[in-house]
Amino acid sequence: MRAHRVHDLIVFLAALGTAVGLVLGGVAPESLATIAVAVSGLYAAWRGGGDRSRSPEGR
């Protein structure tokens, strides 16, 4: 479980650094928001849907 937290922190810091680099490089914040939504969707898909063994009532 701890490895997942470390991995999440690394990904978060990488995404944050990329966003800062893009803003400093002159990318419009509106475009950055679109990129952030797309990347977060990809990350969520890569992470998976979570624990599928639980029933919908338990969520």
Q: Which amino acid is at 48?
A: G
Q: What angle do CA 3, 11, 14 make, to 5 degrees?
A: 140
Residue from 43, 33, 35 nearest 12 by CA: 43
Tell me what pLDDT residue 27 has.
87
Phi-psi map region of 55: left, alpha, beta (phi>0 left; psi -120 to 50 alpha)? beta
- Containing structural domain, residue 24: 17-45
Count the domains in the chain: 1
Residue 39 within any structural domain of the chain: yes
Tell me what pLDDT residue 25 has.
92
Both tokens of 22, joined, read: 């893009």
In tens, the pLDDT along 9-58 reads 888 888 888 888 888 999 887 888 888 888 888 778 877 765 555 555 55
Residue 21 within any structural domain of the chain: yes
| Rounded-to-integer distance, Cα 18 and Cα 36, Å | 10
